[in-house]
Every structure is written in structure tokens, then in C-alpha cells.
């Protein structure tokens, strides 16, 4: 089945000093880390990526919605890692910043679901093929 690879990024309040600089794994965890519940795909990807680097996930607070996490970060209460699509509005408005963590790939698979008894329209097949070509090479 074709897969789309979603990318997650750390998010920061724009007023935070860390939002204006590069973020490296060697840097000490700066603030409270807000996270989704243990079953969250983003949390699993982040935890695994840190584990691969022999680092532990130190969560300051678990929240059960991405919206709650975004507003906690907007208010300057800490930082988080979320899907870049979840914060597209807030980054356009300038209230949140996204930064890559250098040395930490944060890809997660997103499945394309369709009815197996129906023929995909040409546009849907073309879209599926495009997504497969855009898959990170090390994740195929």
C-alpha cells in the first residue's frame, strides 16, 4: 500500500530565544516539553528517533490534543514536537516557529486508504505515484 511520509518539527513560541536559532541534539532540553499521549504517532516517532541517538524523551506534561499543545507553546509555557501541518496557520500568523532538530529525522508513515473493490480514478493514481516518489529514500 502506498505511504506518504509526514514530517514533524519542534515548535517554539516566537518570543523565545531558541526560536531564532538552530537547534542541535547536543543542546540541553531548554524548557518544558509538551507531548501527546503515549499512543500518539508523533510521540512514537520522536521517542524512537531520540532512542536511536541514545537519548531519553523527557516529557514535562502530557496533553490529549494538539490544539492544547499549540496554545501552551503560544503562551510560552514550553516547547513541543508536532506535525508541520498542525501548525501551518500559527506559523503563517507568526505566533509559532518551527525548527528542524539537526541530526534527528522525524518522519512518520501516513497510509493512503482506498476501497480495494473500486478502481482509483486517474488523478488519484497519479497522486499516489507522486507520493511514492517523494518518500524519503531511507524510509522505503
- Over residues 104-125, the pLDDT tens digits come to 777 766 677 888 898 989 998 8
Query: For residue 84, what pLDDT is reported?
Result: 80
Query: For residue 123, what pLDDT is reported?
Result: 93
The CA-based angle 18-8-138, given to 5 degrees, is 120
For residues 24-34, give the mean pLDDT.
66
Domains and CATH numbers, the chain: 3-139 (3.40.190.290)
Prediction pTM value: 0.65
pLDDT tens-place string over residues 49-91: 888 888 777 788 899 898 999 988 888 888 888 888 888 898 8
Query: For residue 140, what pLDDT is reported?
Result: 43
Contact indicator for 7, 88 with CB cutoff of 8 Å: no
Amino acid at each position: 500500500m502506498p505511504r506518504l511520509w509526514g514530517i514533524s518539527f519542534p515548535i517554539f513560541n516566537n518570543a523565545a530565544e531558541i526560536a531564532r536559532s538552530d537547534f542541535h541534539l547536543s543542546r540541553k532540553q531548554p524548557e518544558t516539553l509538551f507531548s501527546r499521549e503515549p499512543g500518539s504517532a508523533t510521540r512514537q516517532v520522536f521517542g524512537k528517533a531520540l532512542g536511536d541517538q541514545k537519548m531519553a524523551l523527557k516529557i514535562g506534561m502530557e496533553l490529549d490534543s494538539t490544539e492544547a499543545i499549540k496554545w501552551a507553546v503560544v503562551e510560552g509555557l514550553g516547547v513541543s514536537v508536532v506535525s508541520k501541518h498542525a501548525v501551518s496557520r500559527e506559523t503563517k500568523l507568526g505566533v509559532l516557529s518551527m525548527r528542524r532538530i539537526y541530526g534527528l529525522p522525524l518522519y512518520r508513515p501516513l497510509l493512503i486508504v482506498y476501497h480495494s473493490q473500486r478502481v482509483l480514478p486517474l488523478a488519484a493514481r497519479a497522486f499516489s505515484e507522486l507520493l511514492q516518489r517523494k518518500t524519503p529514500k531511507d524510509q522505503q
